[in-house]
Amino acid sequence: MRSLFRDAIKWLLFELAAGTYTDRLAAGAEADLGRDFAAYLRPAPGMCVLDVGCGPGHLARELARRGCRVTATDRAIRLIGIARKLTREEGLEISFARVPGERQPFPSGSFDLVLATAVLYWVERPEAVLAEMVRLARPGGVVATLDPHSSMTVNAMREYCVRHRLSARDTRSLISWASASEPCARRTEQQLRGFLTGGGLEALELERRVGGMVWFTRGRTPLRNSPSLRRY
């Protein structure tokens, strides 16, 4: 019951702050991080991509610009509306759907790459969302995530911003993210590896960014179905 209540509060926060969230991710340090993550994904023209929890669609549009065939989903009504509007204004083609992360309406094995940015640490059922991501990637396909490391705290982020002489805007943005992350599922390397391999991924690649406070991860789905894969 508590989990359902927390989930509803998180959904409401994104609905109320959709415009502010969109602006925050559109420029500055978080936009730079998003572009770095896009490069880390190694997108190729024609690649079939699913962005789970796409928010205002900044990363989805970046991948579409790079020639990927992008589908993007989010459960927030206002964020999906903003993402569609920005996509139309840019003349890009992205297929959007408003659905929760753990219930994606696509056939298994539909995508070459399935990604989620700042989603799995935040949601109340991360195992279920990861299971859907693994299901939707083709055999041997890539599942990628961006989430906070366990070391992300307000104090650590403040020190990082001072050390790197970030602008007042970027400092506010990153400290806001750190503050929101503190009660959520931030993971150490051991915890993250256990979570991803337990969800069925192989050949993991983990990198730390933003002074070690952010995880970039990539893993591959098995080439064949395995009865040992965990299902939620």
Question: What distance in Å separates the CA atoms of residue 36 and residue 24, rounded to the nearest whole number?
Answer: 16
Q: What was the pLDDT predicted at 229?
A: 43
Domains of the chain as residue ranges with CATH: 2-220 (3.40.50.150)
- Two tokens at 67? 């020639």
Task: Tell me the residue type at 143.
Answer: V
What are the two backbone dihedrals, phi and then psi, of residue 47, each rounded to the nearest 5 degrees? -65, 135
DSSP H or E segment with residue 214: strand 214-220
- Two tokens at 172? 């506010």
DSSP 121-155: TTSS-HHHHHHHHHHHEEEEEEEEEEEEBTT--HH
Q: What was the pLDDT predicted at 26?
A: 83
Which residues 6+ apart lie within 8 Å of 54 measured at CB? 60, 72, 73, 74, 79, 80, 83, 96
Instruction: Look at strands 48-52 and 69-74 and give their pairing.
Output: parallel
Range 157-192 burial, b when 16+ CB lie within 10 A, else e: beebbeeeebeeebbebbbbbbebbeebbbbeeeeb
* Residue 113 DSSP code: E
**Average pLDDT of adjacent 10-residue blocks, the chain of 232 residues:** 62 67 86 97 97 97 98 95 97 96 95 97 95 98 98 98 97 96 95 98 98 98 63 38
- Two tokens at 170? 């970027």
Which residues lie across from 149 on neighbouring strands? Answer: 187
